[in-house]
Chain A
Amino acid sequence: MSDKLMRVAEPGLLYVWPGKVETFEPPLVPVEVADLPQQYLLLGQIAPQWVVLRPLPVTLERDTDGAYIVSDALFCVYGWGHTLVEAHQDYVTSLIEYYQIMQGHEDEPTQAMFHRLQTYLALLAEPLTYADQNS
C-alpha cells in the first residue's frame, strides 16, 4: 500500500473521515502527506467487541523521523507506526489497553476519568454483526 493512501477502516468498521460517514467496505481515502496534520473522527466498531460510541477526535501527524502518529487530546492516548495504517492500528490497540488499565483502578479520580472514557468506548458482550451495524 502506498504511504499516501490510508485504508481508513477494515471491512466491518464504521468511521467518520473528515466530515463523511463510511460504513462497511469504505474506499481507500487519499491522504497527501502535505495535508498533515489532519484531524478525523473515530466512530463505530474499532476491534472485535470494541465500539466507539460517539465521535472521538484524533489527530494524524508526521513524526520527526518520518513515521506517523495518531493521538487524541481527551485521553492522551497515541499510536505510532511506519505507515498510516500501522499508526492507526497502534492507536486502537493502545486505546483498548488504556481502557483495560483504567478499569482496574478503583480510586475515585481514576474511576471518574474511566466513566468519561466509557461514554466514548464500550466493550460489547459479543461482536457486532453486519445486521447490527446496519439496523
Chain B
Amino acid sequence: MPIKTRDLEALLQKKFGFSQAKTRSVDHRWYELRIPGLPVILTKVSHGASEISGGLESMIARQLRVRRPFFLEMVGCTKDAEAYRTQVQEDPYPPFDVGF
C-alpha cells in the first residue's frame, strides 16, 4: 500500500524530529534534521503528490541515508528516532562522502 505523503511528512516531523526547511520553493517542501557531527540531512516531497511511489520511496530513503528496508520500518513504526539516529551515525547509506 503506497505511503501517503501527508503521513510521511507528519512522521518525519513528529516522530523523527525533522523540521521544515526555509525555502522559497513553490514546487517542494523540504525537511531537515541536524545530527551532531554530520551534514544536515535533507529530504523533500512535492506539492500536490498525495502518495509516495515505489521509486520515490527509494529516493527518500537515500536522502535520509538509510536503506529502503530500514526506511519502510521507519514508516511502519518498527524503527524509532533513536534507532534512526544511531543507524545514520554508524552506517549511513549511502555514506556522505560517496563519490568524492
Contacts and interface: CB of A to CB of B under 8 A. Distances in A.
A129 interface: no
Interface stretch (B6-14, B49-57, B68-76, B77-85): B49-57
Contacts, number: 79
- B interface, size bucket: 20 to 34
A31 B61 CA distance: 27
A126 to B, nearest CB: 20
Interface class of chain A by DSSP: mixed
A101 to B, nearest CB: 5
Interface string B81-100: 00000000000001010111
Contacts of A100: 23
A63 B56 CA distance: 8
A39 interface: no
B94 A76 contact: yes
B1 to A, nearest CB: 13
A97 interface: yes
Contact of A76 (B23, B62, B100): B62
26 contacts: A63-B53, A63-B54, A63-B55, A64-B53, A64-B55, A69-B55, A71-B59, A71-B62, A73-B94, A73-B99, A76-B62, A78-B56, A80-B46, A93-B25, A93-B28, A94-B27, A94-B28, A97-B44, A101-B23, A101-B32, A105-B40, A109-B39, A110-B40, A112-B39, A113-B96, A116-B100
